Amino acid sequence: MSGPEATLAGRPSAVTNTSPARVLIITDHTRLARALEHHLSIIWPDVACRVHSPRTSGHLHSAFIGMGFDAAILDDAILDAAVAGPAGLQWFENLMHREGFPPVVYLAPGDDPGLAENLRLRGAADCLVREKIDNRRLDAVLRTAVLKRRQDLALRSLTSQARDEALFGNIRISGHRFVRVLASGGSSMVYLAESDRAGDMVALKVLREAQDAAAAHQQFASFLQEYDLISKIRHTNVVRIYDLGLADDHAFIAMEYFSRGDLRSQIPHVTDPQQALELVMQIARALEIVHSVGVLHRDLKPGNIMLRADGSLALIDFGLARQFNARFETTGVGNIFGTPYYMSPEQGHGQSLDARSDLYSLGVIFHELLTHRKPYLAPTPLGVVYLHANAPLPVLEGELRRFQPLLDRMLAKFPEKRFASAAELAGAVDAYVKGLR
């Protein structure tokens, strides 16, 4: 291979496995990643590769041990803000301290026999020259590494440690490794886990056991409804769902985990109106996709808007979401669900809702991003609901006054006075963003 972007030459040997090989590629260089993926697809036509770019996605979670992978390829030339120059060796040291991590093939910057021998002594499956990869050697190393990895995992699955790691409370969920509790709700528990199937850290939402049969039926129906709604959506600004299953008669959903937390923690740090607009734009685009498949979120708030390492946002928690015009006894007209600070006037009064109710909630978030304050505050939830319907629209001051027309339409008391759709709102926000440049 001449240069990291070149195609690996030569004819690799065929490898037979009982299930597709899974390889983690850690590099910041797209061409190298593509060349490796292409080569691996020749070795294993059904190979599954995951490319992790430290430059855009940051560090691997400290609890991640790569349980879903057979091998890893680590590029010396990866970047890290904490390291001057290439950070591959620092990453290698970190991976070697993760008990149970898959075999690592290191791509070194040059032909340095001393470095290669040192890395093999410290645990590397092999060390190859990055700029001219010997593909036959890579083929042989990966074949051996994958077979040994699967033998090791088979033996480990029989240990008490492996069985204990699959316990979530008193529920055993195979293919997942318990890390810690993230949240506890009335009807479910949420855990941080590593998923074999996802090959990543996940938020594992497990349905609690209800007190009676009727409640259990309702909880299970709502749980399945949430999965059904989100699984229809494929968009970068909507949480990814990896799995739905049953374990010990408990339903669970494995979904994307966000190590940076939610938007609540970021609001105090948003000091630039353009940043606020760009965040609102991402949320509006997410709502556009959600509404296009006939779903209302109905609980849009900063706590349900998550941040990825690359700065992108994603909507989560569709537990209160519903299909347009769907009929559910627990969500009919007259019932109030959601968070009062972010409720539209019609939602707060149990009236029928459409997409414009979610846009109102986004207007509340926009006000909070601009001013670091909620527009309506009262001693009680009912007091807040009253203000949403009856209090004057909040007034922006100083340089923020330029955004008053946009905020007024988002927070209009009557739906017909608001933007007709998330797409229309996104267009208006985009015009403001361009005006600030």
DSSP-assigned letter for residue 316: -
pLDDT in tens, 40-77: 999 899 999 999 999 989 999 999 999 999 999 999 99
Predicted pLDDT at 232: 73
Domains of the chain and any CATH numbers: 22-156 (3.40.50.2300), 161-256 (3.30.200.20), 263-436 (1.10.510.10)
Report residue 236 CA to chain centroid gap: 9
Find, among 390, 364, 384, the residue nearest to 375 by Cα: 364
Choose between 393 and 309: higher pLDDT.
393
Which active-site residues does the annotation give?
A: 299
Is the pLDDT reported for residue 293 higher than 90?
no
Write down the residue that tokens 């979120």 correspond to: 297
Predicted pLDDT at 329: 32
Is the pLDDT reported for residue 404 higher than 70?
yes
Choose between 10 and 336: higher pLDDT.
336
DSSP 263-325: GGGTGGG---HHHHHHHHHHHHHHHHHHHHTTEE-S--SGGGEEE-TTS-EEE---TT-EETT
Predicted pLDDT at 85: 73
HSE-CB of 59 using CA atoms within 13 angstroms: 16
Q: Quote the CA–CA distance of 306 and 44 in Å, as a whole number.
A: 36
pLDDT in tens, 105-160: 999 999 999 999 999 999 999 999 999 999 899 999 999 999 999 999 999 989 99
Strands 171-172 and 167-168: antiparallel
DSSP 229-270: HHHT---TTB--EEEEEEETTEEEEEEE--TT-BGGGTGGG-
Query: What is the average pLDDT across 396-423?
Result: 97
pLDDT in tens, 341-369: 999 999 999 898 999 999 999 999 999 99
Q: Quote the CA–CA distance of 191 and 255 in Å, as a whole number.
A: 10
Predicted pLDDT at 227: 74
- How is residue 47 written in tokens? 């190979």
Predicted pLDDT at 11: 37
Kindly indicate the confidence band of residue 12, based on its pLDDT and cuts at 50, 70 and 90. very low
pLDDT in tens, 302-348: 999 999 988 899 998 876 666 555 433 333 444 445 689 999 999 99
The lowest-confidence range among 34-43, 80-89, 223-232, 284-293 is: 223-232
Is the pLDDT reported for residue 84 higher than 90?
no
